[in-house]
């Protein structure tokens, strides 16, 4: 109950009751009545000037100041009028609310009880010792029992809240894992379908075109030359389509789960070299990469090599990942024909995918001619251990690496 407005209402209500108790007696009012009014006023001043501001602070020093002040006010008020003990209904809950620990709350409860007993003794003299001690013992015992019970309920509620947050987080992680597994499975299915249907059909078409061209070699005349030109064009178009299909399969095919980035790049390079004859060297020495960033770099490398396969006519390619300042930079370079006027989404270079991936993690990319010819593709992303404001966006392909 940390709503200060309700505490304000409670403090004013208790103070009003104390004043009304003294007004029940007809005037003239004596020193005890004036003492009650003065003590009640001091209580309200102390509450609004100091105690109210430390509700829920859970610090030892303010708690001790509040406990001592309330004990003094309760003892002085009870010395003037025993009915001033009604202030306990406000003091004890307030003490429990501001206590930084159970031990400090117990000590403060005992202090309040001692002050109440002292007030009774001062008002009644020696005859008030028994009444004061009994009243203090009952009030302290009830406050401790109720305070411990409510504290245990609060602790139990906090523990349940913590467990609920952990459960929700685990459910979110499980849902993300299922989603990622579905993405990987779908990518693998598409890669298999393209490889087993379109790529195989295009391979067959290339072979048929080659066989037809061989048969037309013995045909002379303009008709034969025209037919051979058409067949050569068919073969060229089929080869280009086959290259596109193989590049698409390579970009879709998932890498074994649990593999590191360097191992994944090595396998990617070996497969690319086996299929295209282009020699690929890999150097991946960067550290401080999150799983999400590894996925981005791997997919960017796949797209870069797909561009080499489709457009570069290169003999050598190099994939490098290194740390430069606060960034991890991926470089895909080749010795092919160069990028020309390539731009994201233009000229068939498929750079839009790389642009979108790097943008999701706050990175950047560029494509430019190499110093000695060919093309250089660079992708830079912030290091996971250097970023001060990581992007909240997560990738759906985390398990691909």
For the purposes of burial, counting CB atoms within 10 Å of the CB of 150, is it exposed (0-12), middle (13-18) or buried (19 or more)? middle
Instruction: Give me the numbers of helices (H) and strands (E) for the chain, helices first please.
Output: 11, 5
State the pLDDT at residue 340.
Answer: 58
223's CB contacts (< 8 A; 6+ apart) are none
End-to-end CA distance of the chain: 50
CB atoms within 10 A of CB 243: 18
Q: Which residue has 């610090």 as its token pair?
A: 59
Q: Which of 40, 60, 44, 42 is nearest to 52 (CA)?
A: 44
State the pLDDT at residue 385.
Answer: 61
Dihedral sign computed on CA atoms, order 34, 35, 36, 41: positive
CB atoms within 10 A of CB 293: 24
Tell whether the model's pLDDT for residue 42 goes beyond 90: yes
Strand partners, 319: 282, 332
In CATH, what number does 255-401 get? 3.30.565.10
For the purposes of burial, counting CB atoms within 10 Å of the CB of 294, is it exposed (0-12), middle (13-18) or buried (19 or more)? buried
Per-residue buried b or exposed e for 102-118, using 16+ beta carbons within 10 Å of the residue's own CB: eebbbbbbbbbbbbbbb
**Total residue length of the chain:** 401
Q: How many angstroms separate the most distant Cα atoms in the chain?
A: 140
Q: Which of 397, 393, 387 is nearest to 291 (CA)?
A: 397
Say if residues 289 and 297 touch (Cβ distance below 8 Å): yes
Domain ranges of the chain: 1-254, 255-401
pLDDT in tens, 258-279: 557 788 888 888 888 887 888 9
pLDDT-wise least confident of 89-93, 158-162, 382-386:
382-386
The verdict on pTM exceeding 0.75 is no
Task: Express as a percent the part of the chain with pLDDT over 90.
Answer: 18
Q: In what order do the strands lie in the sheet with 279-284?
A: 279-284, 316-324, 327-334, 375-382, 364-369
Task: Give the whole-angstrom CA distance, residue 356 versus residue 376.
Answer: 19
Tell whether the model's pLDDT for residue 251 goes beyond 50: yes
Dihedral sign computed on CA atoms, order 231, 233, 234, 240: positive
pLDDT in tens, 348-394: 445 777 888 788 888 888 888 887 788 888 998 887 665 444 443 43
Structure tokens at 96: 């429990």
Tell whether the model's pLDDT for residue 139 goes beyond 80: yes
Task: Give the whole-angstrom CA distance, residue 52 versus residue 153.
Answer: 24
Mark residue 102 as left, alpha or beta (left: phi above 0; alpha: psi -120 to 50; beta: remaining).
alpha
């Amino acid at each position: 109950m940390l709503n200060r407005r309700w505490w304000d209402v409670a403090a004013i209500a208790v103070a009003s009751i104390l004043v009304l108790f003294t007004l029940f007696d007809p005037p003239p009012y004596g020193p005890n009545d004036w003492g009650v009014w003065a003590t009640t006023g001091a209580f309200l001043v102390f509450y609004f000037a100091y105690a109210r501001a430390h509700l829920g602070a859970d610090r030892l020093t303010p708690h001790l100041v509040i406990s001592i002040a309330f004990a003094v006010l309760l003892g002085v008020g009870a010395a003037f009028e025993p009915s001033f003990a009604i202030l306990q209904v406000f003091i004890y809950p307030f003490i429990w609310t501001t206590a930084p620990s159970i031990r400090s709350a117990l000590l403060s409860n005992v202090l309040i009880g001692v002050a109440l007993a002292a007030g009774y003794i001062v008002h009644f003299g020696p005859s008030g010792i028994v009444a004061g001690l009994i009243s203090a013992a009952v009030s302290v015992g009830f406050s401790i029992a109720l305070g411990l019970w409510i504290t245990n309920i609060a602790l139990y509620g906090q523990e349940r809240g913590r467990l609920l947050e952990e459960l929700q987080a685990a459910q979110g992680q499980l849902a993300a894992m299922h989603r990622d597994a579905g993405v990987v499975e779908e990518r693998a299915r598409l890669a298999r379908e393209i490889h087993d249907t379109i790529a195989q059909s295009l391979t067959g078409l290339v072979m048929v075109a080659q066989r037809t061209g061989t048969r037309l070699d013995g045909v002379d005349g303009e008709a034969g030359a025209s037919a051979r030109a058409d067949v050569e064009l068919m073969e060229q178009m089929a080869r280009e389509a086959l290259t596109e299909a193989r590049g698409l399969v390579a970009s879709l095919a998932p890498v074994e789960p649990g593999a590191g980035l360097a191992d994944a790049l090595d396998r990617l390079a070996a497969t690319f070299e086996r299929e295209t004859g282009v020699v690929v060297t890999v150097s991946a020495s960067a550290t401080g990469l999150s799983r999400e960033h590894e996925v981005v770099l791997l997919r960017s490398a796949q797209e870069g090599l797909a561009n080499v396969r489709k457009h570069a006519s290169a003999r050598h390619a190099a994939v490098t990942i290194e740390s430069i300042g606060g960034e991890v930079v991926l470089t895909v370079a080749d010795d092919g024909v160069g990028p020309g006027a390539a731009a994201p989404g233009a000229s068939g270079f498929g750079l839009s995918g790389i642009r979108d991936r790097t943008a999701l993690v706050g990175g950047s990319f560029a494509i430019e001619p190499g110093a000695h010819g060919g093309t250089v593709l660079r992708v830079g992303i912030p290091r996971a251990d250097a970023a001060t404001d990581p992007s909240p966006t997560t990738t759906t392909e985390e398990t691909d690496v």
